[in-house]
Structure 1
Amino acid sequence: MALVRPELRAWAGRWHEALIGAGIGALGLFWALTSFGLLSWIGWGLVALSPVMIIAGVQRGRFRTGSGGPGVVRVDEGQVAYFGPLTGGAVALTELSRLSLDAQSVPPVWVLEQPGQPELAVPLTAEGADALFDVFAALPGIRTDRMLEEMRRASAPHRVVIWEKTREHMRLH
């Protein structure tokens, strides 16, 4: 018998980083206001750190669109691999040339392109797809707010290019 309703468990799982940030902020505020000396200073430090954790948690929560989709995503050693029921493949992150969102697919998919290789279509709801947030956020020049907005909207009649490698990103130094 579960003590927590499945809907609440799913909601807390989606937003757990933001909830942890809020909890750390509350603990820090408690320590800052009720303690003296070093613990008070640590509390103020936690209060200052918590908004950053909450903002990062909200971004990650917005990226998670669900689960139970087809296939499994693995991120390992600078490579994204997708193992699906009908398709699959891998893309080296250093060779990634374009990231697109195709909302017309059911379910919507990330399209990762690498020169000389077939496109890799990864469903947003695939198991492990939430790990792609860190991968995409590390791409040089990507705007995560735009990426999250396109995911939320998901109504474009065509693929939307989220990020593309430019000459500036190909520099050695």
Structure 2
Amino acid sequence: MASPGFIRPGARAHLNRWREALIGAGIMVLGIYWSFFTDPGLLTWVGYVTLAIGALLILAGLQKGWFRHGGGGPGVVQIIERRIGYFGPLDGGLVDLDALTSLSYDPTHHPAHWVLTHDAGPALHIPVNAEGADALFEAFASLPGLRPGRLASVSQQEGTQPIALWRKAELQNRITRLH
């Protein structure tokens, strides 16, 4: 029989959502201690580097935390070697990141969905709270020209229409020539 956890499930989920930022804060505290509360020397300079690394981890952790919506939603997301797979109760599919033509965020569905458009078939709609959807942050951030901060901020928005986040450069050039 498993013993009950020391931390409540709600608090555990909240800490898990912000885990990278919390680790960065811990590293930053260590850097502050080494930089300002030890005798001047090599450890002071290591502290400055540690302080910078902690600050960068906090920034990256905040972006990931804003992107996360927790699990428990419909379906499961898997990412294997730049191939995104979504297996839902009613639909699903596979999309290679290199075959992606556009990425949108659709807040009109409940829950909101990521819409991945590609040439090989119909668009893939992935709920933001699908199990494993947190891994989409790194996959989407690898798209050329898409800023991770934009992903984090858009995933918190509520709206009445889909938001286009990214288009393949060739497609974007064709659209620009039409206008």
Q: How does 1:27-66 map to 2 (within 5 A)?
A: 27-32=30-35, 33-35=37-39, 37-66=41-70
Distance 2:96 2:18 in 1: 29
Deviation string for 1:78-132 (max 9, x for gaps)? 1100111111100011110000111111211101011131111111001110000
Superposed displacement of residue 65, structure 1: 1.3
Measure how far apart 1:51 and its partner are.
Answer: 1.1
The CA distance in 1 between the partners of 2:10 and 2:40, in whole Å, is 41
State the match for 2:15 in structure 1: 12
Distance 1:137 1:69 in 2: 22
**In structure 1, C-alpha distance between the alignment counterparts of 2:147 and 2:32, rounded to whole Å:** 32
Answer yes or no: is 1:85 the counterpart of 2:89. yes
8 Å contact kept, 1:73–1:81 = yes
Give the deviation of 1:26 after TM superposition.
0.5
Shift of 1:47: 0.8
Give the number of equivalent residue pairs.
169
Which structure 2 residue ranges, 5 or more long, are not aligned?
A: 174-179
- Give the TM-score taking structure 1 as reference length: 0.90
Output the TM-score relative to the length of structure 2: 0.87
Q: Does 1:147 align with 2:151?
A: yes
Q: Show structure 1 runs of 5+ residues with no match.
A: none
Decide which moves more: 94-103 or 138-147: 138-147
CA contact (8 A) 2:101 2:171 kept: no
Q: Which amino acid aligns with 1:19?
A: L
- Residue 18 of structure 1: CA displacement? 0.3
Q: Which moved more, 1:118-127 or 1:25-34?
A: 25-34
Aligned to 1:21: 24
Identity of aligned residues (%): 45
Report if aligned partners of 2:24, 2:58 keep a CA contact under 8 Å in 1: yes
Matched, 1:112 2:116: yes
Distance in 2, matches of 1:7 and 1:167, equals 45
Q: 2:164 matched to 1:161?
A: yes
Q: Given residue 47 of structure 1, which amino acid in structure 2 is its aligned partner? A: L
